[in-house]
Amino acid sequence: MELLHHKLDNGIRLVHYRTNGMVAHCGLIINTGSRDERDKEHGMAHFIEHMLFKGTRKRKPYHIFSSLDNEGGELNAYTTKEETAIHASVLKEDYEKAVDIISDITYNSTFPEKEILKEKDIIIEEINSYLDNPAELIFDDFEDLVFKGQSLGRNILGTPEHIKSFTRKSLDDFINGNYSTYETIFCSVGNISNEKVIRLFNKYFTEVPLKNKKNHRINPNLYTPSSLIKNKETNQTHCIIGNIAYGIKDKRRTGMFLLNNILGGQGLNSRLNLSLREKKGLAYMVESGYNAYRDKGIFTIYFGTDNHNLDKSISVVNSELGKLRKTTLGSVQLHTSKKQIKGYLARGYENHESLMLSLGKSLLVFNKIDTLEEICDKIDRITPSEVLEIANEVFDPSRLSTFIYK
């Protein structure tokens, strides 16, 4: 993979991968998310993401919404606990228009007062909609249980009380304290020449003022396993079992990624899907997940079941965890699991929008980008003893927390 790299004097970096095809993708990824918020700022990173679409010095909201939509393209954004991304997918002839609008809404947004008031109501409705979805809400409640009292544990949307308190000044203060140009990546994938990409990158980002200040990100405190049951009066009982896990720079992350996929990943042949759903018929939805943050990670098992089957379902889950703690994977199963993971990764590389965002995040976090071959080599070097060691650490019964909606 031949990648183009470039860096401006203000610190913003570029990574571009030239491909064939009619569609091009580009975006900005900024190292700021909800975990950078102070208590009174809960929900602000996500609120700012919304407000970027509400007017700039030269564009009204309608012009922002329609400029790429009218060309069959898409302008989008998202906020995670650690990043904010603004990105677009367009026909390659509209690539400059996409770069222009991404730069404009990121660095020239005016945050009109009337739009702030309107967006408060919209986001409060988004929060209300989320509260009505227990299968999603329980994940936020579980992270709040694991990272109790810490910004990493708080949900991304915020609360209605916090949203109502935001002002234009508080938005500006948060941006000035957190959005560093030295922690910003412009990532691009498409059939655009290197010369054109550099020209447009210089044209639309050179004048962005240098900002190398970022508020200190607080590391999570010590983890204490705990269990909690909430009465939600749902038709189904929802359950999450999990533990803290490895941060994104930990060498054991690849082994944890493989182990999670064996247990409850996206494949229908995952152990939890086979045991809890296919063999026992106890759940429709069952999955495990592993999210790696900068300094910590979190591992979760989620399933929904009838209340009468809750204890039986938890017993099945614990049985599968016990097998992975006590029994070393055989060479055939480990080989198959590695091939499955490599297949998922290869498919992801064929999704150019996903690849664009992945390149940007990798450069932002690691200051380098591994090729698919290098990643596959790391997977191939995972040993059975390494998987067993990870399973005994992360799946230790004394370290697991449980959260239940009944």
Contact 45, 114 (CB under 8 A): no
Catalytically annotated residue among 49, 83, 143, 353: 49
Contact 254, 378 (CB under 8 A): yes
Structure letter (DSSP) for residue 217: P
CA dihedral for 194, 197, 203, 205, sign (positive or negative) = negative
Residue count (the chain): 406
The two three-digit tokens of residue 314, written as one number: 């938890």
The two three-digit tokens of residue 154, written as one number: 């708080």
Q: In the chain, what are the helix, strand and coil shares in percent, each to the nearest 5?
A: 50, 20, 30
> Which residues contact residue 205 at a Cβ distance below 8 angstroms, ignoring those fewer than 6 apart?
8, 10, 12, 103, 186
Rg (CA), the chain: 22
The two three-digit tokens of residue 180, written as one number: 């560093």
CA distance 178 to 185: 15
- Point out which residues pair with 23 in neighbouring strands: 91
> Which residues contact residue 182 at a Cβ distance below 8 angstroms, ignoring those fewer than 6 apart?
11, 211, 212
Q: Angle 331-350/384-394 helices, nearest 10 degrees? A: 80
Question: 49 catalytic, yes or no?
Answer: yes
CA quadruple 351, 356, 359, 362: dihedral, nearest 10? -90
CA distance 398 to 400: 6
CA distance 178 to 387: 38
The two three-digit tokens of residue 293, written as one number: 């943050």
Q: Where are the alpha helices (DSSP H) in 86-167?
A: 95-107, 113-131, 134-146, 160-165
**Catalytic machinery residues:** 49
